Chains A and B, each alone.
Chain A
Amino acid sequence: MATPAYKIDAGRLPAVLDDLARHRQVITRMDRDGVNVFARYTGDMPSLRGNGAVSAREHFLPRMEKIHGYQLAPGEVRLSPAGPVEPAVLFGARPCDLAALELLDRVLLEGEFLDTAYQARRAATVNMALACDSAGPGCFCRSVGVSPAGTAGSDVILYPSGQALLAVATTARGAELLESLGLPGAAKDEVDRAQDACEQLVVPVAVETGPVTARLGQRLDDPYWAEASRRCLGCGICTYICPTCYCFAVHDINRGSQGARVRCWDSCMFKDFLTMAGGHNPRPTRKERFRQRFLHKLQYYPEQYGSPLCVGCGRCLDKCPAGLDMAGVIMDLGGGQ
């Protein structure tokens, strides 16, 4: 049987969000001083055009996350668990950001080591994807197997249709959620038209990762790394805006006789990322750090999981101050024009 489609008219959107927010927090994209950010819905209209400056990843892997608290008493340490995870709806994330979640799942949820905090957030969050009917200047999702109308990682997909949004569930819990909202239905042909528009969308940047990945194995000592990394500033922009980066560092935040153990984002581009207790740093220069990032995305991950660790969201193309971005590097390495 065909999954039911619903229609959210522009005027209806606030009401829908309020409905959603009644039982769970709603995370959506807001405009803050002209910057598009994922934030908790508090009644202000979201801003759903374009994409978030920072990827939706931060809802599942927050910048700082408490692991547990502790209390020092003479002769003992008392631990206190981190708070429970709130049920949430992620409303208006783009297919690329949600596709990224599936790439992260493989690392954080598969195999013997389980990231329980991430798992809890994934489980507690219903993802309502917003398909793209227009592309950003840096978009190259198609080149890494993501479609502007892709449903990977989503529970519901929203197709823009004029001022309205057409909602189609892609998972059972998505369907359940939509039902609960009591929305008017949408005509099948309208849905098809909206969906096609997105399916057909042309994205400006195209690369081929296949050949690159194939060859990278032998290119560890390629002078390219040293030359290209010369203009890397060593900041963490690329890793922090990226939907598929997931590195973190664990710290104890101490306040006298109490404190908390937290994990915070960390970036492989930082010089101290790998510095060890003794002061030894296996990746002492920008070259190694720069190379590591791209080898991880284009060689190690693919070798393990069969696809590059990139969803072509294009953020690094827009934001890297040195013009050192994923698409560019792929092309430099022979993946496309």
Chain B
Amino acid sequence: MKRVGVFLCWCGSNIAATVDVPALAEYAAKLPNVVYVEQNKYTCSEPGQEQIRKAIAEHRLNRVVVAACSPRMHETTFRRTLASASLNPYLLEMANVREHCSWVHQDRAEATAKARALVRRAVAKVQLARPLFQSSIPVNRRALVIGGGIAGIQAALDIADSGHKVVLVEREPTIGGRMAQLDKTFPTLDCSSCILTPKMVDAAQHENIQLWTYSEVEEVGGYVGNFQVKIRRRATSINASACTGCGACWEKCPAKTGNEFDLGLGQRKAIYVPFPQAVPNKPVIDRDLCIYFKTGRCRICQRFCTAGAVEFEQQDVVVEETFGAIVAATGFEQFDHAVYGEYGYGKHPDVITGLHLERLISASGPSDGKVKRPSNGAVPETVVFVQCVGSRDEAKGVSYCSRACCMYTAKHAIMLHEKIPGVSTFVFYIDVRAAGKGYEEFYARAQELGAQYVRGRVARVYQRGDKLVVMGEDTLLGAKVQVEADLVVLATAMTARHDAQSLARTLGISYDQNGFFTEAHPKLRPVETNTAGIFLAGACQGPKDIPDTVAQGTAAAAKVNNLFAKENLLAEPTVATVNEAWCSGCLWCKPTCPYRAIDSKTISQRQVGKILTRQVATVNAGLCQGCGACTVACRTGAMNLLGFSNEQILAEVDAICP
């Protein structure tokens, strides 16, 4: 037998001034199964709560309605009250007679009439309330970080430092990512590798971090706390423990190709470490290039390896590991600006991208830090920078701003002025976006050093003699401008990895129209995804500069850590649940679930002597967030939402209408 107690709050005069609470009390007493009604000046006050506890005990209440403020305000408060009176907290229903009634209406009669309806609704709903219990999922305290760039490294270190095991997976032979390719970093101009390399080494040596380079994630199953992940560890052809990294092998290797790390500006061998400070500092064999793998002959490297570390017969291995959380930090790619034929990239060797320039400026770069024109090795006298190549261009590129270009271009200008006395630099820009600590000052410094900022887009770049003519427009002067340049540097957009979407599918997270992974909430849950237990760090979530990337790496780590702080995850019990007897197993509910919480399972039931085995839907209470989209997709109503069940909502509708 349902025994409902109704507690009407005056909220001082907040409610009582507009709603005739005594009359409401009289009315409530007549409602079905209401056995006790009480008014309080402040129900949320300690005495008010005590009254509820007492009433529950004295009148053997098994359902409680509190007519007061918004449940968003005090639902948790009163749930605790019920719990402390050893009544299941979910047997509470609130009627919002303050925010939704007394505060927004003046006519006492009307407000009171409405309050009746609201209480009627609450009483009707609470009748059908069921005791609910939080479910718990064990957490496997081991994290997987995908991507060994600065974001991944930072996340891995922060997780590892708080005592949890981490596997850091990187598909290249070394960690370090984009940052390793940079020379200096804005706005402080400290040397990129000087601040990155130590972190790379820390990551490699950390007792809690396993570094898996030359490896890729292939399959992800399971859910928060218990992800099953298949990782392919590609054959490096080198016995890492034996290799001393002496370098003899790549000295001798006869097969050459353009070095990806230097974007083709320099050369590498078939057996190589991408760059001197690589971590791990052990070579890998590029089997597509290696003469032995192509012809079956050569083996020079093996011959010269005193440590006998070269193992041609190595095979890829696929390992399956269990993790409690995953951080995706797969970074970005450069926009393919080939679409800007008018900028002559590819046609003229002296048209390069910002990243190329980084390599040219870098002391460890192909030109040992001397900026030379790729065409003739001459020192450039006039350099033109073109901003927003791809960025902010719906027609040919992407709609968004890549955020870092303005600043790294300023950096490039500054560094050129420092390296090449008398150089003249022009920057064609749409807007300069220097929002960041010390950024505006940095941009100002570039101008002081002589960088000439021209507000306008570049129309075309073409060769005249050994010069490049840059035709553009100065929108401030409203005139066409032409610059004869030796070097043209394109600030190409940052775009999502070409294969980001397939990784997103593997991970079961969503991505935006540009292929960047989407966070659970743009403001409040910036590093979480809609898939519990999977977090984001760095440019895979959207273009970022280094400070933001590092911050996000740390943030993601913090999220992982507080997930790992618990042995078991407690999940809210207001989740979807399946009535298997009713479920037809059509699974139309499945696609509507943003959390991949719905799956199918086989049940068998007796029917007229026959044993029927059939598929039905099943909900993973740990993943379900209780949105209820599935309940409407279910025609039978076999899929129901605890706390907001079909029965309850129908009853509410019945009760709330006159």
Contact = CB atoms under 8 A, between A and B. Distances in A.
A180 interface: no
B607 A284 contact: yes
A74 B29 CA distance: 8
Contacts of B31: 257
Interface of B: 29-32, 120, 124, 607-608, 654-655
Contact of A72 (B29, B32, B120, B655): B32
List 6 tightest A-B contacts by C-beta distance, closest first. Answer: A284-B608, A257-B32, A285-B608, A72-B32, A256-B655, A74-B30
Contacts of B29: 74
A256 B32 contact: yes
10 contacts: A73-B30, A74-B29, A74-B30, A256-B120, A256-B654, A257-B30, A257-B31, A257-B32, A284-B607, A285-B608
Contacts of B608: 284-285
Given A256-B124, A284-B608, 14 more contacts: A72-B32, A73-B30, A74-B29, A74-B30, A255-B654, A256-B32, A256-B120, A256-B654, A256-B655, A257-B30, A257-B31, A257-B32, A284-B607, A285-B608
A256 B30 CA distance: 11
Nearest to A256: B655
Contacts of A73: 30
Contacts of A255: 654
Contacts of A256: 32, 120, 124, 654-655
Contacts of B120: 256
Contacts of A284: 607-608
Contacts of A74: 29-30
Interface in A177-224: none
Q: Which secondary structure characterizes the binding site on chain A?
A: loop
A284 B612 CA distance: 14
A68 to B, nearest CB: 19
Interface in A63-81: 72-74
A310 B655 CA distance: 46
Nearest to A255: B654
Nearest to B655: A256
Interface in A47-87: 72-74
Nearest to B581: A279
A285 to B, nearest CB: 6
Nearest to B35: A74
B93 to A, nearest CB: 16
Interface in A246-277: 255-257
A72 B120 CA distance: 15
A169 to B, nearest CB: 51
Interface in A278-318: 284-285
B328 to A, nearest CB: 49
A285 B608 CA distance: 8
Contacts of A285: 608
A73 B31 CA distance: 8
Nearest to A284: B608
B609 to A, nearest CB: 9
A73 B33 CA distance: 10
A63 to B, nearest CB: 23
A253 B120 CA distance: 18
Contacts of B607: 284
Nearest to A254: B654
Nearest to A281: B608
A284 B29 CA distance: 45
A73 B30 CA distance: 7
A225 to B, nearest CB: 14
A74 B28 CA distance: 11
A257 B654 CA distance: 11
A284 B124 CA distance: 35
A256 B31 CA distance: 8
Most buried by A among B29, B32, B124, B655: B32
A255 B608 CA distance: 37
B56 to A, nearest CB: 20
Nearest to A74: B30
Contacts of B124: 256
B420 to A, nearest CB: 86
Contacts of A257: 30-32
B5 to A, nearest CB: 14
A285 B607 CA distance: 9
Nearest to A288: B608
Most buried by B among A74, A255, A284: A74
A318 B582 CA distance: 34
A310 B29 CA distance: 55
Nearest to A279: B581
Contacts of B32: 72, 256-257
A255 B656 CA distance: 11
A255 B607 CA distance: 36
Contacts of B30: 73-74, 257
Interface string A29-55: 000000000000000000000000000
A259 to B, nearest CB: 11
B380 to A, nearest CB: 85
Contacts of B654: 255-256
Nearest to A287: B608
A73 B34 CA distance: 11
Nearest to B31: A257
A95 B32 CA distance: 51
A284 B654 CA distance: 34
A242 B30 CA distance: 46
A329 to B, nearest CB: 22
A73 B124 CA distance: 16
A276 to B, nearest CB: 15
B374 to A, nearest CB: 79
A193 B608 CA distance: 59
B346 to A, nearest CB: 70
A257 B31 CA distance: 7
B481 to A, nearest CB: 78
Most buried by B among A73, A256, A257: A256
A243 B29 CA distance: 49
B650 to A, nearest CB: 12
A285 B124 CA distance: 38
A128 B32 CA distance: 49
Nearest to A72: B32
Nearest to B29: A74
A147 B120 CA distance: 60
B278 to A, nearest CB: 69
A237 B346 CA distance: 77
Nearest to B34: A74
B612 to A, nearest CB: 12
B636 to A, nearest CB: 14
A136 B32 CA distance: 55
Nearest to B120: A256
A256 B656 CA distance: 10
B41 to A, nearest CB: 27
A238 B120 CA distance: 43
B127 to A, nearest CB: 11
Nearest to A285: B608
Nearest to B607: A284
A284 B608 CA distance: 7
B118 to A, nearest CB: 14
A284 B609 CA distance: 10
A74 B35 CA distance: 9
A256 B607 CA distance: 37
A278 to B, nearest CB: 13
B652 to A, nearest CB: 12
A255 B653 CA distance: 11
Most buried by A among B29, B120, B608, B655: B608
A255 B134 CA distance: 33
A71 B32 CA distance: 11
Contacts of A72: 32
Contacts of B655: 256
A257 B116 CA distance: 14
